[in-house]
Amino acid sequence: MAQVAVRNVVKKYGSLQVIHGVNIDIADGEFVVLVGPSGCGKSTLLRMIAGLERISGGEVDIGGRVVNDVLPKDRDIAMVFQNYALYPHKTVAENMGFPLKLKGRPKDEIAAKVKKAAEILALEKLLDRYPKQLSGGQRQRVAMGRAIVRDPQVFLFDEPLSNLDAKLRVTMRVEIKELHQRLKTTTVYVTHDQIEAMTMADKIVVMRDGHVEQIGAPLDLYDRPANTFVAGFIGSPA
């Protein structure tokens, strides 16, 4: 059974329909990348999986449960955004532990989970710093740390690397993949960057104008693109 299932999902903003009946099955532990040009509906779809956006039709299922009416905080997910959304007046440790504090977890449990996440992300020496004292890559790792401490069933990433310079993007791609290999958490990762999609995905979902054009492993899409749009976008030879 799919860990995340998107079934005939539709999104309308008033009379404007931006997602047109999308179907995606994501297996337990799979790293799925949603890719497509700006404005094709990637963030909207991710936000519907997160529960941050109401769905206009169809259903989203997480861990075998339809979650259409479940609040984001009651879904077993953690989301990492491109702008990090760290609290400037909290330390790295406080930022990472904040989701657990909100849930009322005991202090010693929070400290232990923050310590473990900090080890995984090489943040041990930075726990007492404030966000403004960190580099872009370090801030991104803190944002990932905040997701990890919750130990969710599903990670959602929305263009997490797009504010970083090219060199750091490559480093962080590798780090995110290593993290996935270590934790095996089901991941849905949004990007408009074909290279990110090709190098990171177990499975790629190519989107265009609110539709899915093709779903497949990176090499399948490259070798057997369903149409000229996919071929052009993935960069297959004509």
Q: List contacts with ligand ADP (CB under 6 A).
A: 13, 16, 18, 36, 38-44
Find the shortest distance in angstroms from Cβ 43 to Mg ion.
Answer: 3
DSSP secondary-structure letter at 133?
A: G
Find the shortest distance in angstroms from Cβ 109 to ligand ADP.
Answer: 36
- Give the nearer residue to ligand ADP in terms of CB position, either 41 or 152: 41
DSSP secondary-structure letter at 52?
A: S
Token duo for residue 105: 């977890």
Find the shortest distance in angstroms from Cβ 196 to Mg ion.
Answer: 13
44 binds, among Mg ion, ligand ADP, none (CB under 5 to 8 A by kind): ligand ADP
Using rule CB under 5 A, residue 43 touches Mg ion: yes
Instruction: Select from 9-17, 38-46, 134-142, 227-235 the region that touches Mg ion (CB under 5 A).
Output: 38-46
Token duo for residue 149: 């401490």
Instruction: Select from 35-43, 53-61, 78-86, 216-224 the region that touches Mg ion (CB under 5 A).
Output: 35-43
Closest alpha carbon to 1 in 23, 28, 22, 31: 28
For 15-48, letters b (16+ CB in 10 Å) and e give eeebbbebebbbeeebbbbbbbeeebbbbbbbbb
Find the shortest distance in angstroms from Cβ 45 to ligand ADP.
Answer: 7
- Give the nearer residue to ligand ADP in terms of CB position, either 52 or 70: 52
- Give the nearer residue to Mg ion in terms of CB position, either 22 or 123: 22
Token duo for residue 5: 């299932």
Radius of gyration of the chain (CA): 18
d(CA 41, CA 35): 10
**Residues of the shown chain interacting with Mg ion in the complex, contacts defined by CB under 5 A:** 43
